[in-house]
Amino acid sequence: MPIDPLAPPTLDHFADLHVDVGTPQVLGQGPGGLRRVVPILGGSATGAGWRARVLPGGSDFQLIVSDTLSILDARYGLETEAGDLIYVQNHAVRAAPAAVMAALLRGEPVDPASIYFRCTPHFETAAPALRWINERLFVGVGVRHPAQVVMRFFALN
């Protein structure tokens, strides 16, 4: 039976990430919304047969568009246990009712089920064993805790 090239893609689990974050730096209101930069302090990643650490020094560049919507652009690095380096750029949309979003932006714990947090991570690496991630699209889901972001990424097949 031939494979339908227009069939909906399937999802394969790629990795779970726990990204430790610092206190947001508020840059102020601009024409598109409130700008914040959240420092990435470290963390961990676990995939099928591999583990990595989140390198400190990255940032999550946030645009608070409205009282219910934030657009996120996180950029950081991973280093696998084998010493391979991976650059991550993760674009995300986070939406919630205004009261929930306000609590989240104040750094308070909120019910993750009340927040829509979806993302499209992009990976780059020179590592031969991981070269395939340069050639795939990924999607993910996330949960924001006061000092950590937990995400699960899937490869589109």
Whole-number Å distance between alpha carbons of 22 and 7: 42
Domain assignment present for residue 2? The answer is: no
What is the per-residue pLDDT for 20? 98
Cβ atoms of 89 and 75 closer than 8 Å: yes
What is the per-residue pLDDT for 18? 98
What is the per-residue pLDDT for 128? 93
- How many structural domains does the chain have? 1
Domain assignment present for residue 4? The answer is: no
Domain assignment present for residue 107? The answer is: yes
Domain assignment present for residue 85? The answer is: yes
For the stretch 87-119, pLDDT in tens is 999 999 999 999 999 999 999 999 999 999 999
Non-local (6+) Cβ contacts of 157 within 8 A are 9, 10, 11, 12
Domain assignment present for residue 95? The answer is: yes
CATH at 96: 2.40.160.20
Domain assignment present for residue 29? The answer is: yes
Host domain of residue 15 = 11-156
Cβ atoms of 134 and 123 closer than 8 Å: yes
Domain assignment present for residue 6? The answer is: no
Whole-number Å distance between alpha carbons of 37 and 17: 20
Domain assignment present for residue 53? The answer is: yes
Please name the helix (run of DSSP H) or strand (run of DSSP E) that holds residue 50, with its range, or none: strand 50-54
What is the per-residue pLDDT for 3? 86
For the stretch 23-70, pLDDT in tens is 999 999 999 999 999 999 999 999 988 999 999 999 999 999 999 999
3-state secondary structure 86-124: EEEEEEEEEECCHHHHHHHHCCCCCCHHHCEEEEEEEEE
